[in-house]
Chains A and B, each alone.
Chain A
């Protein structure tokens, strides 16, 4: 039960939640009572009677007070539970924190429970758990645990609106795995704020037991101390909360009602503007903080990624610079493989020099070759022109294949041999060199994924192109027979 209760409490209370919580509290307290009844019936104990008495009292007095009792009733259980072994205030709080932390663990799992259900559950377990606990509880422990009551009551009354904020104060991301901590801190931060509120109520509820005046001044002071450690924002609320309950205990219940209305539904209700403003501020802060928290992991990852070694600078600029340098180094290695003779060189600058030289040499080669081509062009390229332009794009590969077959039929034996040889040599060959027959003297080029260009006029060197990476792709069969040095096919033919 406790767990349930706290799990619900640990839920991030969205606005709906607050509304849910408020509706039973202010308008229909009876609903809560109805919810309470079965549980109480189940828990057959003397303390039930006590509770009943209390409840009846409250019913008689006001509905509102009933709410307060509702809120306060679970608290004894908590106090007993936590501070069962001689609870001093500080001890109680510590215990609570620890317990809440523990429960926060479980709450993380049930994070996504529907709001409406949580609201209903909220009413029931709160009322139900006390009896068994109260059984064990001596009046003395009750007295001693009475700050605990107050605390609890405060928490539950406030959590609808406040725990959210309290979580923000904790400065931990709500959606992360840190929920546990967030929940813990939430409780701590939120409880004290309304503690002062709740304690007089409790006093009003159980008037004979406690002199209310004692509990009230004592608690806020203590909690305020605690609160300062937790958050600054809460400390602002401290005077308000302390100021409100003290003046008259007779109206505390009503006042608490008001507080519930304002505090829980802070954005909607009039009055308590300061509070509302504060809460809004807190929410804004929370939004910022959540943003910060969401942003945090990314740079963190980067840090992991970069991983400054010992003695290396860790500020972002040097890290970025290091990343950049690493990237450049990788690319340099890639270049190193491409450029011949670059492996022997050490040092980036020298390597770059080598690369530059290589590129320059290649460009010069291109220039030289284009010069050569220009000289050659006049005599030799004429035939190419028409054939290329006319046939280049149009001929599909199938026709090319047909053409090859025809070629094969023409120069069957020799051609077959060559094809076989080629296929053996280069299984991935883009071009099966279609023709080696000097007699046909056709220029055939296979573009495997491009349209092929096959046949040219007579007295034209054969081009067989692009058989392999290193292979010279064009072989002038008729004319440039001797000049083509590296071609395997040429060797065959020779």
Chain B
């Protein structure tokens, strides 16, 4: 059973890990602000969203660029240190390319994609494609799990 699972989970983003992290963070949120104040819904939504992304990044592991970028961003927002071995290159590909010469249509589109994919600014285009693929996988997984959660938790 376990071995089979391993074989399954090699590439596919792991739902259960994500769900675990997500539920944990949700519960943490709950404990942090137990008072159900409806006025801070916006803030709350943001936090939940952030939790969802962070847990997705955690589920994806530290090997992906986008997950690292997400975790970095979360850390900077939270002022909490997330330990991850850093890559050396911090010069953003995006900025370099933007200030650079002519950009074909594809490159423009790729730049838009860079804005969407976390950490995309640092990526070279082919790398960006790869990361985007994984990111899309993880996102769809996340959406599914969250959908299930919502469905499960919402009252009849």
Contacts and interface: CB of A to CB of B under 8 A. Distances in A.
Contacts of A388: 23-24, 27
A367 B139 CA distance: 11
A8 B145 CA distance: 75
Interface stretch (B5-13, B71-79, B84-92): B5-13
A158 B143 CA distance: 80
Interface string A477-493: 00111111100000000
A481 B30 CA distance: 25
Contacts of A481: 156
Contact of A472 (B20, B126, B144, B153): B144
B82 interface: no
Contact of A331 (B23, B133, B147, B149): B133
Interface stretch (A130-138, A237-245, A373-381): A373-381
B155 to A, nearest CB: 6
B116 A359 contact: yes
A377 B43 CA distance: 14
Contact of B27 (A356, A389, A475, A482): A389
A386 B24 CA distance: 10
B16 A447 contact: yes
B152 A484 contact: yes
Contacts of B151: 472, 474, 476, 480, 483-485
Interface string A451-494: 00100000001010110011011111001111111000000000
A353 interface: yes
B150 A373 contact: yes
A355 interface: yes
A384 B20 CA distance: 11
Q: Interface residue tally of chain B, by bracket?
A: 35 or more
Contact of A473 (B49, B137, B145): B145
A327 B113 contact: no
B26 A384 contact: yes
A335 B154 contact: no
Contacts of A376: 150, 153-155
A445 B6 CA distance: 18
Contacts of A367: 45, 49
B116 A360 contact: yes
Q: Interface residue tally of chain A, by bracket?
A: 35 or more
B146 A366 contact: yes
B112 A474 contact: no
B130 A476 contact: no
Contacts of A430: 5, 8, 16
B69 interface: no
A388 B20 CA distance: 9
Interface in B44-62: 44-45, 48-49, 51-53
Contacts of B4: 428
Contact of B139 (A359, A370, A461): A359
Contacts of B36: 378
B155 A349 contact: no
A389 B24 CA distance: 7
Interface of A: 324, 327-328, 331-332, 334-335, 338-339, 348-349, 352-353, 355-356, 358-360, 362-363, 365-367, 369-382, 384-386, 388-389, 392, 428, 430-431, 445, 447-450, 453, 461, 463, 465-466, 469-470, 472-476, 479-485
Minimum-distance CB pairs A-B, first 8 = A331-B129, A476-B152, A352-B109, A385-B27, A474-B148, A369-B146, A370-B48, A370-B49
Given A358-B136, A474-B145, 8 more contacts: A373-B26, A373-B153, A392-B20, A430-B16, A445-B16, A469-B12, A483-B151, A483-B154
Interface of B: 1-2, 4-6, 8-9, 12, 15-17, 19-20, 23-24, 26-27, 29-31, 36, 41, 44-45, 48-49, 51-53, 105-106, 108-110, 112-113, 116-117, 125-126, 129-130, 132-133, 135-137, 139-140, 142-156
10 contacts: A331-B129, A335-B132, A373-B150, A377-B30, A384-B23, A392-B20, A430-B5, A466-B16, A472-B144, A473-B19
